[in-house]
Amino acid sequence: MRVIIEELEEYKKSLPGDIGKAVSDISFFVYAVHPGMRTAAVLDLLNRCPVDEVECFETGDEIATVLRGAEKTPDIIVVEGRDDGAGVAEMTGKFGCRIYSIGFDVRGLDKVIGVLRERGVRFITDAPLDYNGTRFISTTQSPNTGDTFWYVERKRGSKDYLFFQNATAADVEKEIADAFKKHARLKTFNYMEGFDHVLYRVSHQQFMAAAMEVLAATPYTTIDITDLDENDARLMSFRRGKKQPVLAMLCARNEHGAPEEYVRAHGPRIQHVSWAVSDVAKVYNLQKKRGIVFASEAVQGSEEDGIRQVYTTPSPCTGDVTEYVERSGSEHCLFPKHSVSGLFQDMPFA
């Protein structure tokens, strides 16, 4: 592990420029789902995640729902194609339903793009696009994580997502609007404290390339590595200094490990999104009563571990797992010392 960290630290020192002050923490996630699955995916996310507002917009061949989080909590955008011929539908037909993009808000986009290009980051377009006063650019899809990174420079006071090409605001469907009203009354979300971390599954052969990608393209540059001997896996986390949230990735240490089997089945991708809560036992019991299925029969961790957590089973709509985590220690560990049940789970999904 020490050799890996030393290599990554040397790589980090070699990177030209600095984007740390110009690029935000993760601002939004973009899910892509099959045509006709957006409503089901949104209803599922409303059951799992804290949401303050719901909006909808349309483009020429896409329909999207925006689930707005609280301050410093990433927004969630769920996009479907109008039919199988839409670009997003071709993508989900090939790679399945999942998170495809992580978005960052940016100040001084042109300067940031220049630094990123010097670092070897590749973009879909030669220059940022400009719609409705908001400028943005996207990287090409990574073969290491399966995702793209979006960088958005908004006009002052704007926080909409109408920078998608030809996007116009649309009415929220009644089924989603009614579900959101119920969501707002649920006791579960009174215990939510915000976004904690996101975790990728990546191939052991692409682990270093994926790590270098994160260091080059995001503001997360503090590195920590843990080997999980019981599952023959390796966990790497990236932070901005010592604070949350964390961007993490898990791989097998060889081609036979459980994380490698997951990547062979589903490709590299985000496996779970984690939400910080003030009382994980209460969240667990409340969510179980509502029919949410969890990977374990009890909350894991303890005061001694400094962390208590629980994972849902994978969403049948988007494939990712939701984690609820309560922290009592000063250090940011990602799992209890004696148990990581739920971190390695897998099942078929859309």
Q: Averaged over 189-205, what is the pLDDT?
A: 94
Residue 338 or 261, more confident = 261
Contact yes or no for 316/348 (Cβ under 8 A): no
Report the distance separating Cα 237 and Cα 223, nearest Å: 6
Work out the percent of the chain whose per-residue pLDDT is above 70: 94
Question: Strands of 129-131's sheet, edge to edge?
Answer: 129-131, 134-138, 148-153, 98-106, 23-33, 75-81, 62-68, 53-58, 168-170
Paired tokens of 69: 């989080």
Mean pLDDT of the chain: 91
Q: What is the pLDDT of residue 245?
A: 76
Cβ-count burial 143-172 (b if 16+ within 10 Å, e if not): ebbbbbbbbbbbeeeeeebbbbeebeeeeb
Name the residue among 215, 183, 209 with its Cα closest to residue 76.
183
What is the per-residue pLDDT across 2-39, written as a single tens digit (0 to 9) for each? 788 899 999 999 999 999 999 999 999 999 999 999 99
Residue 261 or 203, more confident: 203
Quick one: how far is CA 191 from the chain centroid? 21
Which pLDDT value is given to residue 349? 62
Q: Is the pLDDT of residue 50 over 70?
A: yes
pLDDT of res. 3? 84
pLDDT tens-digit series, residues 262-277 = 898 889 999 999 999 9
Q: What is the mean pLDDT of residues 188-205?
A: 93
Q: Give percent above pLDDT 90 in the chain.
A: 73
Of residues 302 and 66, the one with the higher pLDDT is 66
* Torsions phi, psi for 157 (to 5 deg): 85, -5
The pLDDT of residue 340 is 60
Identify the band that residue 343 occupies on the pLDDT scale cut at 50, 70 and 90.
low
Assess whether pLDDT exceeds 80 at residue 214: yes
What mean pLDDT comes out for the span 143-152?
96
pLDDT at 337: 60
Contact 261, 232 (CB under 8 A): no
Is 151's pLDDT higher than 90? yes
Q: Is 304 exposed, middle or buried (0-12, 13-18, 19+ CB in 10 A)?
A: exposed
pLDDT for res 133: 83
Average pLDDT over residues 297-312: 89
Structure tokens at 199: 């975790």
Measured CA distances, 248 to 76, 215, 238, 347 (Å): 19, 12, 6, 21
- The pLDDT tens digits of the residues spanning 160-192 come to 898 888 899 999 999 999 999 999 889 999 999
CA dihedral over 66, 273, 319, 292, signed as positive or negative? negative
State mean pLDDT over 127-143: 93
CA nearest neighbour of 87 among 35, 10, 22, 39: 35
Q: What pLDDT, in 10s, does the model give residues 277-291?
A: 999 999 999 999 999
139 pLDDT exceeds 70? Answer: yes
Across the range 152-164, mean pLDDT stands at 85
E strand or H helix at 265, and its extent?
helix 258-266
Contact 325, 283 (CB under 8 A): no
Q: Does position 350 have pLDDT exceeding 70, yes or no?
A: no
Query: Does the pLDDT of residue 104 top 70, yes or no?
Result: yes
Model confidence at 45: pLDDT above 80:
yes
CB-hemisphere CA count at 13 Å for 285? 3
Q: What is the pTM of this model?
A: 0.94
> Is the model's pLDDT at 54 over the cut of 90?
yes
Question: What band does 331 get if pLDDT is binned at 50, 70 and 90?
Answer: low
